[in-house]
Chains A and B, each alone.
Chain A
Amino acid sequence: QKEVEQNSGPLSVPEGAIASLNCTYSDRGSQSFFWYRQYSGKSPELIMFIYSNGDKEDGRVTAQLNKASQYVSLLIRDSQPSDSATYLCAVKSSSNTGKLIFGQGTTLQVKP
């Protein structure tokens, strides 16, 4: 089992729709969760982090965390073509080094 798993996609949604990106993780002790967006040929850009169970909203983006199910998701409302990118889920290890473990990323395509 991979430490952080994402569906590689591509996930294709029409413009204006809600895009739902999912991530599961294996380390039950993990406490910090991050979503990065990476455009082709560019560096990962932090778009959201969440530490507590429940929802965290920032503009059109909502992160959801369920530690009991070891599941974290990212919802993008009113999707725009500019949202087309690879979304990387990252989970901070519970080890004392606190290393960040990335999933393989989900490619999102928003079609006009």
Chain B
Amino acid sequence: DTAVSQTPKYLVTQMGNDKSIKCEQNLGHDTMYWYKQDSKKFLKIMFSYNNKELIINETVPNRFSPKSPDKAHLNLHINSLELGDSAVYFCASSQDPIQPQHFGDGTRLSIL
């Protein structure tokens, strides 16, 4: 069973559209994260939730909105997609904010 799973794996869409990426973890972890990895492979934190509470909210456009319906799920909604949003988005989870993080397989977002 996949520990941290993301859907979809690939997302190709037009500029200006709104899209969502879903993440689920079955590890019983309390903390979940969204990262963005750009074309230069630089991995940067976007958001983190601990027990459904937002604890990290980096400087990202407010077109990006995370939602955590429960501890096992953290979704990412993106409004008005722009060319610069093209990247791989990784979800991760950890037992708590201190413990090591485990990553999902990533969602490759391509904006046409």
Contacts and interface: CB of A to CB of B under 8 A. Distances in A.
Interface stretch (B13-21, B36-44, B60-68): B36-44
B97 A86 contact: no
Interface string A81-97: 00000101000100001
Interface of A: 32, 34, 36, 38, 42-46, 49, 86, 88, 92, 97-102, 104-105
B100 interface: yes
Contact of A105 (B41, B58, B100): B41
- Interface pairs A-B: 10 shortest CB-CB: A98-B97, A43-B103, A102-B43, A97-B56, A44-B103, A99-B45, A43-B105, A49-B100, A99-B56, A43-B106
Contacts of B48: 97, 99
Given A42-B105, A43-B103, A43-B104, A97 B97 contact: yes
